[in-house]
């Protein structure tokens, strides 16, 4: 049986969960941006929470950011 240690550096399951949460937050911002106001700071705050930058993201997450209408 495998032991799941979420605090192990580079744990693939933990990284997958974090990536999935980031995708969910970006998707929510994209959906909200079509009916409400989303600023560039809102997007930057989400990326900062995940210690990520646009350049280091996989293409599907960049595409999600590109769907956000920023005011």
Tens of pLDDT along 2-61? 676 766 777 788 888 889 999 999 999 999 999 999 999 999 999 999 999 999 999 999
Q: Both tokens of residue 35? A: 């009916």
Span between the terminal Cα atoms of the chain, in Å: 50
Which pLDDT does position 58 carry in this prediction?
A: 94
């Amino acid at each position: 049986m495998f032991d799941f240690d979420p605090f192990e550096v580079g744990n693939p399951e933990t990284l997958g969960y974090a990536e999935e949460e980031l995708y969910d937050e970006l998707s929510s911002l994209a959906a909200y941006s079509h009916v409400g106001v989303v600023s560039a700071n809102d997007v930057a705050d989400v990326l900062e929470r995940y210690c990520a930058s646009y350049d280091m993201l996989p293409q599907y997450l960049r595409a999600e950011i590109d769907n956000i209408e920023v005011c």
